């Protein structure tokens, strides 16, 4: 898979692992990035044979969620774009390959939800927070967003995160079960690839069926069903 230098998402091959690298500054969701996300997931779904996926960002941010400035400037497309973010989360939950989120930096709001939609998470220890700040922004979670968070997080962690808007360090996030692994700055991506590699050769049809059993209701709430576009 190739991408233009201006592409907000670059996909890199590392053997049987595809690294999906977000590289658009704060990696916020706007029309361009969301459309590109769906293109990338479509490409990954069409791959036959061994595959696992690692999602990461660059610099300070993993993802800072919805681009509220873009939404304000494009009010007619803001609602449909958010619906496509919902679908993206559901689609990632059901992606027929094992997925690892390598949190290189801040994961806020929609970025935190994106991390939830991966099968496992590695968070950087020395910098970056995981946070659902909607209570401070005055923007309640949508039903699909709530489903995307609560399908993954332990109940107590989800309640604390949603009600308080607290910013969690890697240590706190691991203690509460928000992330499973932590690593230093120079090891986050390597650790994520290390976790992904042995999963790439497992039977993807079985992974897909097990994900369906686990998360079909979540994906449907998010507006995604396999075979749609």
Domains and CATH numbers, the chain: 9-221 (3.90.226.10)
List phi, psi (to 5°) of 141.
-60, 140
Report pTM. Answer: 0.95
Please identify which of the residues 48, 134, 197, 209 carries the catalytic annotation. Answer: 134
Compute how many other C-beta atoms are within 10 angstroms of the C-beta atom of residue 127: 13
Those residues whose C-beta lies under 8 Å from the C-beta of residue 105, and which sit 6 or more positions away, are 57, 59, 60, 61, 62, 124, 127, 128
Those residues whose C-beta lies under 8 Å from the C-beta of residue 87, and which sit 6 or more positions away, are 38, 222, 223, 224
Cα torsion angle, 116, 180, 183, 166, sign? positive
pLDDT digits (tens, 9 = 90+) for 209-222: 999 999 999 999 99
Is 134 assigned a catalytic role? yes
Mean pLDDT of the chain: 95
What pLDDT score does 4 carry?
47
The yes-or-no verdict on residue 139 having pLDDT over 90 is yes
The yes-or-no verdict on residue 1 having pLDDT over 70 is no
- For residues 144 and 149, give the distance between their C-alpha atoms in angstroms, rounded to a whole number: 9
Share of the chain above pLDDT 90, in %: 92
């Amino acid at each position: 898979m190739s991408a233009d230098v201006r592409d907000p998402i670059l996909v890199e091959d590392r053997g049987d692992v595809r690294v999906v690298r977000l590289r658009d500054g704060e990696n916020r969701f706007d029309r361009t990035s969301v459309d590109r996300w769906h293109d990338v997931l479509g490409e990954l779904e069409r791959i036959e044979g061994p595959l696992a996926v690692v999602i990461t960002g660059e610099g300070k941010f993993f993802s800072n969620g919805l681009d509220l400035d873009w939404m304000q400037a494009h009010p007619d497309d803001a609602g449909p774009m958010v619906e496509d973010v919902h679908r993206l989360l559901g689609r990632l939950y059901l992606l027929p390959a094992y997925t690892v989120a390598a949190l290189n930096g801040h994961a806020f709001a929609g970025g935190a939800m994106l991390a939830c939609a991966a099968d496992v998470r590695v968070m950087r220890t020395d910098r970056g927070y995981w946070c659902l700040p909607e209570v401070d922004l005055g923007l309640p979670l949508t039903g699909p967003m709530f489903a995307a968070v609560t399908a993954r997080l332990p109940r107590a962690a989800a309640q604390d995160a949603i009600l308080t808007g607290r910013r969690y360090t890697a240590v706190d996030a691991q203690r509460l079960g928000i992330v499973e692994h932590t690593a230093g700055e120079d090891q986050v991506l390597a650790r994520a690839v290390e976790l992904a590699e042995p999963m790439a050769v497992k039977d993807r049809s079985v992974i897909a069926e097990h994900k369906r059993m686990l998360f079909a209701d979540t994906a449907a709430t998010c507006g995604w069903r396999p075979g749609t576009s």
